[in-house]
Every structure is written in C-alpha cells, then in structure tokens.
Amino acid sequence: MLKKVLILGLAILSFRSLYASDISDVDHNHFGRVYKKVALVTGGASGIGEATCLELSKEGAKVAVTDINKERGESVVKQITASGGVATFFSMDITDESAVESTIKEVVAAWGSIDILVNNAGVPGANKPTDKVTVEEWDYGLGLNTKGVFLCTKHSVPFMKEQRKGGSIINVSSVFGVIGSGGVSPYHAAKGAIRAMTKNDAVTYGVHGIRVNSVHPSSVRTPMTHEYADNYPGGIEKFYEDIGKMHPLGRVAEPLEIAKAIVFLASNDASFITGAELMVDGGFTAK
Ligand SMILES: NC(=O)c1ccc[n+]([C@@H]2O[C@H](COP(=O)([O-])OP(=O)(O)OC[C@H]3O[C@@H](n4cnc5c(N)ncnc54)[C@H](O)[C@@H]3O)[C@@H](O)[C@H]2O)c1
C-alpha cells in the first residue's frame, strides 16, 4: 500500500515539474503560450499594440495595457476582461521616466513579476528627407521612438534579473530600421537605433536569461498608417492596394499578424532566440 502511495506521489510530482518546466510546451495546448506570464505593452491602446494586448491575453498572460490614450486603453482592457482575461490600464508616457518607473513598480507589486515587455509605442514623425528636417523634428522623432525603448528596458531589467526566471523583451522596429524608403528621415534613424539597441541588450542580458528581439513590420492597417496615408490620391484603400502590390504576398498586414509574431517571441517557443530581427513584412525586404 505504502509503495503504491509513494509511486503515485512521485508520478504527481514529476507531472507537476513537467508542467512547471520553462521550455515544456505541455501547457501550451491547455493554457496558452504565455500562460500566467505578466506582460507590459506600450502603445497598447491602438493598432499593433492593441492586437498584441488581446493576443497576449488570449494566450494566458496578465496584461498591463499602457498608453497616453486613456479612453482607448481602457476600452482594450474592457475587451480583455469581458472575455475572461486579466488586464489593467496604466496611463504612461514612454518619454516620462518617473511614469515609466512607477508603472513598472506597480505592475510588479500587483502581479509579482514582469516577464514580457513589448516596446511598441511609436510615432512616424516628420515625413521629410534629411535636408528638410528641422532640429526640433529630429529630436522629436528620434527622441520619442528610442527613449521609450530605453526607459522601459532600463526599468524592467532590474526586476527581470531579480526574479531569476529571465524575461522576454520585444522591440517593435520597422522594415525602415533596415532599409531606406526615401522619406521619414528621423523615423529611419530611430528604428535603426532600436534594431542596434536590441542586439546590444540581447548580448548584455543573455546571462540573466533575458531575451531581447526586434520585430520589423512593413505596412500594417493601423491608425498610424491611416494618418500617414491621409492625403494619398485615391484614398486609403488605394494606398493599401498600391503598397500591397510592393509585397511578394501582394497585400499589407493586419495588426494581428504582427501581434502573433510578437507573442511567439514572448513565449517559450522562442526560448533560444535572442538578438534576432524578425521581418514580419510579407517578403518586402526579401526583394
Ligand atoms: N503601422 C505600420 O505600418 C507600422 C509599420 C512598421 C512599424 N510600425 C511600428 O509599430 C508600432 C505601433 O504602430 P501602430 O501602427 O500600431 O500605431 P498606432 O498609432 O495605431 O498606435 C501607437 C500607439 O502609441 C501610443 N503612443 C504614442 N506616443 C506615445 C507616448 N509618448 N507614450 C505612450 N504611448 C504613446 C499612441 O497613443 C497609440 O495608441 C510603432 O512603433 C510603429 O513605428 C508600424
């Protein structure tokens, strides 16, 4: 009898440790790819950030939806909680160090850790070639887009180190961080900087099990693109059609297609991927 109880006990223990294993995909089918992870997404109120918050929640994470747009951010949280997920909105400007620091502290105090950081918030800035850009436009475009990545990484990493189970940081760059487009000069500089920051942070923090990767979308149907293409002759759908033709897949992306790539990098499915740049661009940069 005692022997039977011991065997049963051992079986339960080994089953539980299999579940708890960081690289096991046993739990994926049942609980989602980022089950019980704590995620913070910047720019989570709209476009790619919104889709990422929803997808992270669908895959089991608790999500801190952060943005400067309170109304839209709260509506993302409502969508998540209505479907049974866990999320909270934080009003956070990525360029404000004290807001970033206190938000990250609040998230850790509430949920016990920070496992996933998605540095997504960004702005296109001045759509001009370099010789037409003012110093103010340069400082704004480069500053906002890179400072957020810097500050959120700076204040998340100490917790990721301390919690001793690593973490995953995903920086949303762009194909414009890798190739030229002939416009948006400060944006190119910022997205190229984010690509290099990603690799440097991957090298620096790998020893702590913190993975850092960048995602490079091309054209995605989001409010940012709508704004950018506002005055396009023929309207926004003609813009998408024409830009879509430049992609080997013949179309632009939906936000969810970028979100799924982000969640992959956030999850243990990407446990040996760090310092990588993932083009999510329908083949745009393959040409
Ligand atoms: N849409 C595209 O085609 C495309 C292509 C490549 C890369 N990207 C990148 O993807 C990311 C998301 O873009 P999107 O298209 O979803 O844009 P979006 O405009 O739909 O969303 C951006 C969000 O960032 C927030 N934001 C702006 N400034 C902020 C600040 N200072 N602090 C906090 N939040 C701030 C906005 O309020 C908004 O909710 C950006 O980094 C963008 O450069 C987008």
Residue 4: pLDDT band by 50, 70, 90 thresholds? low
Which of these is catalytic: 35, 140, 187, 228? 187
The mean per-residue pLDDT over the stretch 228-254 comes to: 93
Strand order in the sheet with 167-172: 86-91, 62-67, 38-42, 116-119, 167-172, 210-217, 277-280
- Domain boundaries of the chain, sorted by first residue: 28-218+253-282
CATH class of the region 28-218+253-282: alpha beta
Pocket, ligand 1, Cβ cutoff 6 A:
42-43, 45-49, 67-69, 93-95, 120-123, 144, 172, 174, 217, 219-220, 222-225
Arithmetic mean of pLDDT over the chain = 91
Nearest CA to 211 out of 198, 192, 194, 197 is that of: 198
Q: Are strands 86-91 and 62-67 parallel, antiparallel or unpaired?
A: parallel
62-100 pLDDT, tens digit each: 999 999 999 999 999 999 999 999 999 999 999 999 999
Report which ligand 1 atom has the smallest distance to the Cα of 73: 39
The mean per-residue pLDDT over the stretch 108-120 comes to: 98
Q: What pLDDT is stored for residue 226 in this prediction?
A: 87
Residue 287: pLDDT band by 50, 70, 90 thresholds? very high
Distance separating alpha carbons of residues 146 and 150, to the nearest angstrom: 6
